[in-house]
A and B are shown apart, each in its own frame.
Chain A
Amino acid sequence: EPEVTQTPSHQVTQMGQEVILRCVPISNHLYFYWYRQILGQKVEFLVSFYNNEISEKSEIFDDQFSVERPDGSNFTLKIRSTKLEDSAMYFCASSESLAGGSDTQYFGPGTRLTVL
């Protein structure tokens, strides 16, 4: 069964450093998402992406964050200058269409980001 993959599984970085989290969505999906889950808290929406542009973003997704689909398969989340509070599990998801419509978002296993 097709699945969303994410690399790395765990990333440790120093505060102020840039990190790039990578995701390979399911191949025929058109909509891509990033969510994060701070330890002990709920999963929060960050951004959705379609047709090479951001569809929607939350308040969390400030200027430090960016997303890109650099080629036909990868979908990346970049954090320009990490802060301690960016430590979280980051989930990538994809769907054939908008999940608010009639489709389902499929999630990857997550990347645990630890900022020291």
Chain B
Amino acid sequence: AQSVTQPDIHITVSEGASLELRCNYSYGATPYLFWYVQSPGQGLQLLLKYFSGDTLVQGIKGFEAEFKRSQSSFNLRKPSVHWSDAAEYFCAVGLEDGGSQGNLIFGKGTKLSVKP
């Protein structure tokens, strides 16, 4: 069955430090990949997405992610974290096959804390 794994439940980084949040997926074909962010009390906001083409995708708020087919990964990165980036980050996979009509499969999320 398709799945998304975010191995880090909680990460703390210092403001200004670089960030990498890990995401691995299990799917037989190339999936559609998304990163969403959820600030406290807020809904899910799309950061970026990968459908095809360049494996390094740029998103909002200075985030980027790289699709690595060989590692089944889609890690999210940011070179310099801001205190306002503290939130929960969800990786999601969108499938297009005979058994799925567009629902997203989410990872469990990684909570990011930023210390001054």
Contacts and interface: CB of A to CB of B under 8 A. Distances in A.
B42 A100 contact: no
Contacts of B101: 48, 55-56, 98, 100
A31 B102 contact: yes
Contacts, number: 76
A91 interface: yes
A75 interface: no
Interface stretch (A36-44, A64-72, A79-87): A36-44
User: In the complex, which of the residues A31, A91, A109 has the most CB atoms of chain B within 10 Å of its own CB atom?
Assistant: A109
Contact of A109 (B42, B103, B108): B42
Chain A, interface size category, equals 20 to 34
Interface in B102-116: 102-109
Contact of A107 (B36, B102, B107): B36
A45 B105 contact: yes
- For chain B, the bracket of interface size reads 20 to 34
A91 B95 CA distance: 19
A43 B106 CA distance: 6
B84 interface: no
A48 B104 CA distance: 10
A109 B109 CA distance: 17
A104 B103 contact: no
A48 B102 contact: yes
Interface of A: 4, 6, 31, 33, 35, 41-45, 48, 55-56, 58, 91, 93, 95, 97-102, 104-110
Interface of B: 32, 34, 36, 42-46, 49, 51, 90, 92, 94-97, 100-109
